[in-house]
């Protein structure tokens, strides 16, 4: 794989750049380049046709100096160990940036869930949980939803874990249904946090969110919630896409109607009153805010020069390669990095974990108010470092986050 597109090489390159700016000691730098542990498991699953298929699953812990491991589990045919390792590292920085007491983790299964029945997904998830039991736990590793996993997936993990230990343990996962201990406000938390940081960034740039043209790549949990909340905030969402392509309406899409169409058709394409466009074309539309909220490596050295957005807000993890970063910076495009822009999900996951441990639950208004307060504070912290050090918002976010993880790693020392 091209090193620019290898996620682990990209994550380490970002760390190397930050290390120079914060004068990170060589021994701490070396420790932070490597993941603490990696578990690779075989996941034998009985398929509906009577056959047995063995999937490969991964769970990676990057650094646990600040708390137990936290990170999603994704189901996708493109899952790889390098991808999961990079995502675990990014989760470490994201949790530190938001100043919540978690370390970074990530998991994934190499499969195509769109070709699997609900029964097959349940059996695979339960077997995966059984294989991961040795590292899971509310004080060890707390999974959450990610690409192609959802609240139902988390309920299966919760039930399987609880059946194995002999009692219900709601705090072992987050992003689960409210009926089994989930947090109100969790489902749209990533989108809400993204829109909050966009609003703060537009304010810094002297631009109102009302009337701002917004383009969203991806219409999964994050993209859908971000588009809906951006429209509610007064923005004009002019284009949305999914893996099959996109739709464009310069006067603004009716997001609620598009959600209904998507549920019926299984894709955004064909929505009445819109023009079709490809994902590549969508990334190059003239707009105020471009939100890549799908997979990684969407903005690269090959297409960053054609981006016409005033701002890029990374709803997905790692959608912009280092080469694209440099091009966007040279062109004066303001970038909200993933570890800030999409940190709303892990922040409300933290709230959910706390509520589960306390067995005391908050209202949705309380959750949203706490989330917005933390997102505004994190944006202000990153902007302050960016302006003071004259560095990009990404580098400023990483300088804050890596410094916090390095301090915890340094103070705890090395055992033995």
Domain extent listing, the chain: 35-168, 189-341
**Coil, helix or strand for 204?**
helix
pLDDT in the model for residue 2: 56
What gap in Å lies between CA 409 and CA 397, rounded to an integer?
18
Predicted local confidence at residue 3, as pLDDT = 52
Do 35-168 and 189-341 fold alike per CATH? yes
Polymer length in residues for the chain: 416
pLDDT in tens, 46-77: 999 999 999 999 999 999 999 999 999 999 99
Select the CATH number that applies to the domain covering 35-168 from these four: 3.40.50.10860, 3.30.360.10, 3.40.50.2300, 3.20.180.10.
3.40.50.10860
Asked if omega into 340 is within 30° of 0 (cis), the reply is: no
Residues 60, 88 contacting (CB under 8 angstroms): yes
Q: Is 414 labeled as catalytic in the residue annotation?
A: no
DSSP 349: H
Q: What is the CA radius of gyration of the chain?
A: 20
> Which residues of the chain are under the pLDDT cut of 70?
1-5
Residue 1 is predicted with a pLDDT of 47
Task: Provide the pLDDT for residue 99.
Answer: 96
Distance CA 132, CA 107 (A): 10
Sequence-distant (≥ 6) Cβ neighbours of residue 1 within 8 angstroms: 82
- pTM of the shown model: 0.94
Which of these is catalytic: 33, 70, 94, 106? 106
Strands 103-110 and 245-248: unpaired
Reply yes or no on domain 189-341 having CATH 3.40.190.10. Answer: no
CB 382 within 8 A of CB 367: no
């Amino acid at each position: 794989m091209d090193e620019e597109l290898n996620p682990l090489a990209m994550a380490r390159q970002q760390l190397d750049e930050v290390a120079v700016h914060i004068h990170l000691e060589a021994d701490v730098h070396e420790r932070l380049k490597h993941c603490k542990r990696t578990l690779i498991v075989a996941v034998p699953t009985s398929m509906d046709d009577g056959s047995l298929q063995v999937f490969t699953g991964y769970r990676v812990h990057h650094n646990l100096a600040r708390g137990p491991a936290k990170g999603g589990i994704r189901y996708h045919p493109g899952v790889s160990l390098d991808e999961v390792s990079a995502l675990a590292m990014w989760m470490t920085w994201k949790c530190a940036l938001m100043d919540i007491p978690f370390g970074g983790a990530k998991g994934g299964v190499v499969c195509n869930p769109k070709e699997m029945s609900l029964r097959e997904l349940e059996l695979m998830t339960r077997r995966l949980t059984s294989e991961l039991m040795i590292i899971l736990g509310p004080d060890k590793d707390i999974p959450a939803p990610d690409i192609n996993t959802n609240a139902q997936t988390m309920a299966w993990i919760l039930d399987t874990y609880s059946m194995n230990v002999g009692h219900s343990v709601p705090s072992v996962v987050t992003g689960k249904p409210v009926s089994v201990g989930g947090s109100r406000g969790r489902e749209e938390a990533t989108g809400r946090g993204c829109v909050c940081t966009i609003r703060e960034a537009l304010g810094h740039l002297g631009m109102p969110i009302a009337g701002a043209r917004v383009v969203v790549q991806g219409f999964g949990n994050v993209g859908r919630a971000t588009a809906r909340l951006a429209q509610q905030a007064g923005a004009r969402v002019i284009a949305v896409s999914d893996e099959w392509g996109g739709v464009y309406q310069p006067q603004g899409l009716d997001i609620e109607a598009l959600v209904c169409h998507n549920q019926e058709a299984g894709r955004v394409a064909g929505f009445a009153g819109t023009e079709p466009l490809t994902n590549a074309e969508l990334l190059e539309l003239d707009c105020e805010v471009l939100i890549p909220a799908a997979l990684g490596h969407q903005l690269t050295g090959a297409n960053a020069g054609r981006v016409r957005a005033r701002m890029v807000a990374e709803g997905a993890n790692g959608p912009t390669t280092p080469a694209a970063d440099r091009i966007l910076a040279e062109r004066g495009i303001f970038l909200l990095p993933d570890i800030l822009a999409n940190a709303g999900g892990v922040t409300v996951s933290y709230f959910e974990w706390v509520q589960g441990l306390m067995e005391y639950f908050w209202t949705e208004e309380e959750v949203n108010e706490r989330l917005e307060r933390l997102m505004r504070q994190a944006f202000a912290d990153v902007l302050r470092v960016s302006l003071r050090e004259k560095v990009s918002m990404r580098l400023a976010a990483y300088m804050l986050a890596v410094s916090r993880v390095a301090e915890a790693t340094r103070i705890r020392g090395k055992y033995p």
